[in-house]
Structure 1
Amino acid sequence: MSDRPNLLALDFDGVLCDGLLEYFQTAWRTYLEVWSPPESTPPDDLPPRFYCTRPVIETGWEMPLLIRALVLGWTESEILSDWHSISRQLLEQEHLSPEVLGPRLDQIRDEWIATDLPGWLALHGFYPGVCDRLRVILEQDMIELRIITTKEERFVRSLLGQQGIILGPGMIFGKGHKQPKHQTLRDLMTLSDPSPVIWFVEDRMKTLLSVQAQTDLQQVKLFLADWGYNTPIERRLVAEYPPICLLSLSQFSRDFEAWS
């Protein structure tokens, strides 16, 4: 396999963008509406506990439920090791469903964006060194760059634009594409003949495994970003699924030869 790509595909949240502050604030606003606690200000220890356990979340509706679990006394270690069972238990106990929590969270976020977009964007940051690395890649103009994300393209452009990074049309595959990431990678494989050498960096092991399961995408080199929203269990799992590689933030910031 080539020692460098000619097309680098990157996830956004959890690889480039750190949105933990926004995740917590949106989840807390939803929690206030669903559970109506006596205090509208979260306990001081709640945000860091949420940040620690956020990697267990696969879908947005789980975030206010995670806050509920923490408020009720589940420990971080219990949540990290058995969130699936805890979340199902809580749904039953609280007489709730994803169909109730999901739309409520989406509505709260949408209303926030509509009334205070600058404030919402301000809760997003970038991991150290990633913007510098993007600038180098774009300036060298030797490697195609694509971002594949579940975030809306306009928000990705706004956040990158604040860092002086402007991506051309067709470089961001956002929420509006409404297809699995492996399908987007498949589409990218048809960009040229012969197919481009694609490297894909993602912070969710489940997503990487879905790509690995596609027989026609075996040439895509896969990396799990160990600084993103994943758990120690997921990071250890990489060793069981070669050729997926574990990638550190310091490696990402260096040239491609340092990635393996």
Structure 2
Amino acid sequence: MNAARILALDFDGVICDGMAEYWQTAWRTYTQVWQLERLEPSPGVAEKFRELRPLIEVGWEMPVLIRALSLGISTDRMQSSWQRIRDRILADSRLSGVKVSQQLDAVRDSWIEQDLTSWLGLHQFYPGVVDLFKDLPNRKIQPVIITTKESRFVTQLLQKEGIELSSEFIWGKELKRSKIDSLKQILDRGAKKSPAVWFVEDRLSTLTKIATQPELESVKLYLADWGYNTPLERAAALQQSRIQTLALADFATLGGTAKKGTAGKTEAADLVT
């Protein structure tokens, strides 16, 4: 392994479980965008929201998901046609993703300004991750967070756990840069040092797109099996030679063995060698 080692990480669903915050912020935004008088969700909506959270690629989709649930759209339909349903709801409501995103950010900003402690308290770092982060400098591994969350939120959450990471290594939503482009930039910056780069992500669709990029062939790709993905997605990942599934226990120690398919495709995750 080369001396320059870079651990690129998604944030939500890999480092931090923010499901409770997602639900609360999404519900508050939903009631405002659709101007509802009813301020309490119907029974079971929160549970279905959690089940369908893996469908969400960008935060503004969360209130739209609640809207779909309120309209009685079935789980099966959403799992097979989420983007089409999402776009139809926006059109019928004369909304745009930008407008919903702005409202979502306003709700979150107001909450943080008025009660930062309660907002931070709805986020839980996955077991072992905080200790891992604090030990990375000793292992000469540089973390880079690549996320659709705004960098300022990531910084606040890290600091709450006593983790200081320079803004240089937190690439958030405000950069408007795809994860593919972010990984290419990491490789470009370290071209002279030929760094080993690993990327841990909980969305199979994101990893699948990255795997098609010839320029990123050297990047090792890992699906976080503890994150916001489904059993079907984890099973599908086992059949892809470029993607390895990673268990939380192995991630927290940067070692162990990744799980591969049943057709003799067993490989070591080998994150420490």
Determine the C-alpha separation between the residues in 2 that align with 1:99 and 1:179: 16
**Equivalence for 2:151:** 153
| Mapped contact 1:80–1:231 kept (Cα < 8 A) | no
Higher alpha-carbon deviation: 180-189 or 99-108: 99-108
Structure 2 equivalent of residue 7 of structure 1: 6
- 2:264 match: none
Match of 2:181 among 167, 180, 183: 183
The reply on whether 1:131 has 2:130 as its aligned counterpart is: yes
CA distance 1:45–1:245, shift in 2 (3 Å)? same
CA distance in 1: counterparts of 2:245 and 2:227, whole angstroms: 11
Shift of residue 27, structure 1, vs aligned partner: 1.2
Q: Which residue number corresponds to residue 141 of structure 1?
A: 139
> 2:114 matched to which residue of 1?
115
Partners of 1:172 and 1:245 in 2: CA distance: 24
State the match for 1:61 in structure 2. 60
Q: Deviations over 1:120-178 (max 9, x none)?
A: 2222211222212223323x232222222222323222211221222245232223433
| Conservation of the 8 A alpha-carbon contact between 1:3 and 1:256 | no
The code of the aligned residue for 1:148 comes to I
Give the secondary structure class of the aligned counterpart of 1:55: helix
CA deviation after TM superposition for structure 1 residue 221, in Å: 0.3
CA drift at 1:44: 4.2
Letter in 2 for 1:53: L
Corresponding residue number in structure 1 for 2:263: none
Alpha-carbon distance between aligned partners in 2 of 1:228 and 1:188, rounded to the nearest angstrom: 24
Q: Provide the residue aligned with 1:210 in structure 2.
A: 209
| Equivalent position amino acid for 1:207 in 2 | T
Letter in 1 for 2:7: L
Give me the identity figure in percent: 45
Per-residue CA deviations over 1:17-62 (Å, capped at 9, x if unaligned) read 1111111111111211233344212234222221111111122232
Counterpart-to-counterpart distance in 2, 1:3 and 1:29: 48
How far apart in 2 are the matches of 1:84 and 1:240? Answer: 25
Distance 1:97-1:158 versus aligned 2 partners, 3 A rule: closer
**Do the aligned residues in 1 keep the contact of 2:2 with 2:196 (CA within 8 Å)?**
no
- Residue 20 of structure 1 corresponds to 19
Distance 1:250 1:92, change over 3 A: same
Q: Which moved more, 1:64-73 or 1:230-239?
A: 230-239
User: Structure 1's 151 and 100: CA in aligned 2 closer, same or farther, altered over 3 A?
Assistant: closer
Does the aligned pair in 1 maintain the 2:146–2:172 contact within 8 Å?
Answer: yes
Contact between 1:148 and 1:174, CA under 8 Å: does it hold in 2? yes
Which of structures 1 and 2 has the larger relative contact order (alpha carbons within 8 angstroms, sep 6+)?
1
Structure 1 residue 119, shift from structure 2 partner: 2.8
- Whether the 8 Å CA contact 2:4–2:140 is kept in 1: the answer is no
- Measured on the aligned residues, the alpha-carbon RMSD in Å equals 2.6
TM-score, normalised on structure 2? 0.82
| Contact in 1 for aligned 2:3/2:140 (Cα 8 Å) | no
Consecutive unaligned residues of structure 1, counting only runs of 5 or more, are none
Asked if 1 retains the 8 angstrom alpha-carbon contact of 2:12 and 2:147, the reply is yes
Matched, 1:197 2:213: no
Aligned length: 258
Using the size of structure 1 for normalisation, the TM-score is: 0.86
Which blocks of at least 5 consecutive residues in structure 2 are unaligned?
A: 259-268
